[in-house]
Amino acid sequence: MITGFQVTLRPVAQNDLSQLREWRNSESVRQQMLSTDVISEEQQYAWFKKIQRDDSQQHWVVEYKGQAIGATNIKVRFHGDSLTTAKTLEPGLYIGHPGYQGNILAFAPTLALYDYCFRDLPVESFFAVVKAENKAALKYNQQLGYQVVNQAELIDLRLQKEEFERHTGLIRRLLSRSPRKG
């Protein structure tokens, strides 16, 4: 488990699958994903079984005040790496609970996860891919310090530790204050 900035990231468990699939298939989340396919119960279970034995990725449920509000993950960027050896990771995040979408709290899981990765793993950078029309995700990533490295239908972004630390001071201070209302 990873904790920080008022949230807890706990590994995805089998009893989370129904909620995760409901959020992932919701219009507001699904349309922002690179794959907009609706996920079946069978696909969700197959995915869960796969991630249980895959050392190149890790998935967490995001909890705030003991309530699940979203999901986050990291995957290795280059085939053949594991999370314990990778220098570059690809992150993923969605806030599924409508009451927390677009809220500053959406930064909390990313701050906690990236702090963990930069501190406890050999990670030097993150690499993200965002749809060009997903302006909210682009803005979110740029507020974290990501820089655009390639721009087309999909935008490639890269984040170095120094830029992350330089860009997140204000967000960290805001999230370290009193608990957010939801």
> Which CATH number covers residue 98?
3.40.630.30
For residue 101, the model assigns a pLDDT of 84
Average pLDDT over residues 122-150: 93
Residue 38 lies in a domain: yes
Q: For residue 178, name the pLDDT band (cuts at 50, 70, 90).
A: low
Q: Where are the beta strands (DSSP E) in 19-174?
A: 57-64, 67-76, 88-95, 125-131, 147-151, 154-160
Residue 23 lies in a domain: yes
Residue 32 lies in a domain: yes
- Label residue 12 exposed, middle or buried (CB < 10 Å: 0-12, 13-18, 19+): buried
Has residue 144 got a pLDDT over 90? yes
Has residue 138 got a pLDDT over 70? yes
Specify the range with the lowest mean pLDDT, choosing from 34-48, 66-80, 167-181: 167-181
Q: How many CB atoms lie within 10 A of CB 142?
A: 14
Has residue 181 got a pLDDT over 70? no
Has residue 30 got a pLDDT over 70? no
Q: For residue 56, name the pLDDT band (cuts at 50, 70, 90).
A: very high
Beta-sheet pairing, 88-95 with 154-160: unpaired
- Rounded Cα distance between 80 and 74, Å, is 15
Domain count, the chain: 1
Average pLDDT over residues 76-96: 91
Residue 106 lies in a domain: yes
* Amino acid identity, position 154: L
Residue 146 lies in a domain: no
Q: What share of the chain is helix, strand, coil (3-state, %, to 5)?
A: 40, 30, 30
| Structural domain boundaries, residue 105 | 2-123+168-175
C-alpha torsion angle, residues 72, 128, 122, 54 (rounded to 10): 50
For residue 14, the model assigns a pLDDT of 95
Residue 162 lies in a domain: no
What is the average pLDDT value for the chain, to the nearest integer? 90
Residue 119 lies in a domain: yes
Residue 152 lies in a domain: no
